């Protein structure tokens, strides 16, 4: 496309600078290299291979048959909000009311709402990494600055230095974002550390945004540690959750936000101007997932733990791999490869040499260029095949 003088037109010339500046490079660009290759073992995305339980699909179909296909409550239908409130109350050391729940069209919209709620252009969010990169993209899309604080990795695993967090904050820090359990590390932020974060943030008016999407995928436990256990309802705390992982509902695009009760009307307004609400029949499916899904969640937890053990047992025998701690939770192992300095190039080399798809560590924060992420929420046979393919390359 050219202007009247014949000069090429910059397609980004009319785009807001902070939007144009967001990188288009991501894990999907690696996966595109092999979309047409049937022999690839795809371990790059955060998605398992167990299908959504049949009773969830049947609940959605029945809701359509029952005519639940019209506009609805912007915070979510009352029955689902109460169901989610009861779910948290059962698992936590506190009572959670439905006025603290806003249903969203996926975990990503929940994060977007949380950041929109607290951030003004020019403000910053302190992000604890290694971390799923989308929080950084959202912050930049909204004109904010990302300030990264990297967790420390020792022989005992990943730990958070609170002094580093404090040093990164200033008068324009609006929120501290952390994921527990973490993606890509599978590490958890202990409850006592979350308590210290809360004690730091409260007097400074800084929000805590806690990504708890993997809260139910904690090995050997029913659930992880949640900041709901130690915070007050009106604390500046926002909790992200999703049906995608524990209930195998990635394609359903269903999530929720736990927030101070006073913000319910404000969040309803924000939903009105974005998605206008989540499809009603999907919300009825979500009710079924919560009420009937505990056996499946337990199965998913065991499935991930089995996958973790298969993968880590194999990786620990590969000379070029450095795995200092096994993940405690989630569905990923994040490991270093000796001699690797460019994880993107390395993942392409691994893909071409072994037909195994991995995610480059560089996407998860500075300091992770020598790491790759592998999703082990896959069938045992597929994981064993992947490990056999990787063994010659990583030995």
- The full DSSP string for 47-98 is --SSPPPHHHHHHHHHHHHTT--S---TT--HHHHHHHHHHHHHHSSS---G
More confident residue, 2 or 218: 218
Question: Which pLDDT value is given to residue 1?
Answer: 53
When pLDDT is averaged across residues 191-197 and rounded to a whole number, the result is 97
pLDDT of 168 above 70: yes
| CA-to-CA dists, residue 84 to 55, 81, 139, 169, 238, angstroms | 18, 5, 27, 33, 15
340-363 pLDDT, tens digit per residue, is 889 999 999 999 999 999 999 999
pTM of the model: 0.94
**CA 251, chain centre distance (Å):** 14
- What is the SS3 assignment for 316? coil
* pLDDT band of 5, cuts 50, 70, 90: low
Q: Where in the chain is the domain with CATH 3.90.1150.10?
A: 17-51+295-393
The two beta strands, 255-258 and 237-242, are antiparallel
Q: Where in the chain is the domain with CATH 3.40.640.10?
A: 66-293
* pLDDT band of 25, cuts 50, 70, 90: confident
104-141 pLDDT, tens digit per residue, is 999 999 999 999 999 999 999 999 999 999 999 999 99
CATH 1.10.357.10 fits 66-293, yes or no: no
293-342 pLDDT, tens digit per residue, is 999 999 999 999 999 999 999 999 999 999 999 999 999 999 999 988 89
Quote the tokens at residue 23: 């990188």
When pLDDT is averaged across residues 21-27 and rounded to a whole number, the result is 77
Q: How far apart are CA 350 and CA 44, in angstroms?
A: 12
CATH number for domain 17-51+295-393, candidates 3.90.1150.10, 3.40.50.970, 3.40.50.11600, 3.20.20.80: 3.90.1150.10
When pLDDT is averaged across residues 39-45 and rounded to a whole number, the result is 93
User: What rounded mean pLDDT belongs to the chain?
Assistant: 94
**CA 78, chain centre distance (Å):** 26
pLDDT of 369 above 80: yes
Q: Percent of the chain beyond pLDDT 70?
A: 97
Residues in the chain: 395
pLDDT of 75 above 90: yes
Question: Which pLDDT value is given to residue 12?
Answer: 72
When pLDDT is averaged across residues 199-203 and rounded to a whole number, the result is 98
Question: Which pLDDT value is given to residue 6?
Answer: 61
């Amino acid at each position: 496309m050219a202007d009247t003088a014949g000069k090429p037109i910059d397609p980004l010339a009319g785009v807001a600078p902070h939007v144009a500046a967001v990188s288009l490079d991501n894990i999907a660009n690696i996966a595109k290299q092999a979309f047409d290759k049937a022999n690839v073992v795809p371990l790059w995305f955060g998605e398992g291979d167990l299908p959504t339980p049949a009773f969830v699909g049947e609940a959605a179909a029945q809701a359509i048959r029952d005519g639940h296909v019209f506009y609805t409550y912007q915070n979510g239908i009352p029955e689902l909000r109460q169901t989610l409130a009861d779910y948290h109350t059962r698992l936590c050391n506190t009572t959670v009311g439905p006025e603290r729940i806003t249903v969203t069209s996926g975990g990503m919209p929940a994060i977007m709402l949380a950041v929109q709620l607290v951030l003004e252009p020019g403000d910053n969010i302190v992000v604890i990494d290694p971390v799923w990169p989308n929080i950084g993209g959202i912050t930049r899309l909204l004109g904010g600055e990302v300030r990264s604080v990297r967790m420390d990795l020792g022989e005992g695993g990943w730990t958070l230095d609170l002094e580093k967090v404090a040093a990164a904050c200033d008068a324009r820090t609006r929120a501290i974002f952390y994921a527990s359990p973490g993606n890509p590390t599978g590490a958890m932020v202990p409850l006592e550390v979350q308590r210290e974060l809360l004690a730091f943030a409260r007097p400074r008016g800084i929000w805590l945004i806690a990504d708890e999407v993997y809260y139910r995928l904690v090995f050997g436990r029913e659930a992880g540690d949640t900041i709901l256990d130690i915070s007050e309802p009106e604390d500046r705390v926002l909790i992200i959750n999703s049906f995608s992982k524990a209930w195998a509902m990635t394609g359903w695009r269903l999530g929720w936000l736990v927030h101070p009760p006073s913000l319910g009307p404000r969040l309803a307004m924000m939903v009105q101007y974005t998605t206008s609400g989540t499809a009603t029949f999907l919300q009825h499916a979500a009710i079924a997932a919560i009420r009937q899904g505990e056996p499946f969640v337990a199965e998913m937890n065991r499935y991930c733990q089995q996958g973790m053990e298969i993968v880590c047992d194999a990786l620990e025998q590969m000379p070029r791999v450095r795995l200092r701690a096994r993940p405690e939770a989630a569905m990923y192992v994040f490991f270093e490869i000796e001699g690797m300095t460019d994880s993107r190039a390395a993942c392409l080399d691994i893909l071409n040499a072994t037909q195994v798809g991995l995610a480059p560590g560089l996407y998860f924060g500075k300091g992770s260029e020598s790491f790759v992420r592998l999703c082990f929420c896959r069938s045992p046979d597929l994981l064993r095949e992947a490990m056999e393919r990787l063994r010659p390359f990583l030995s």
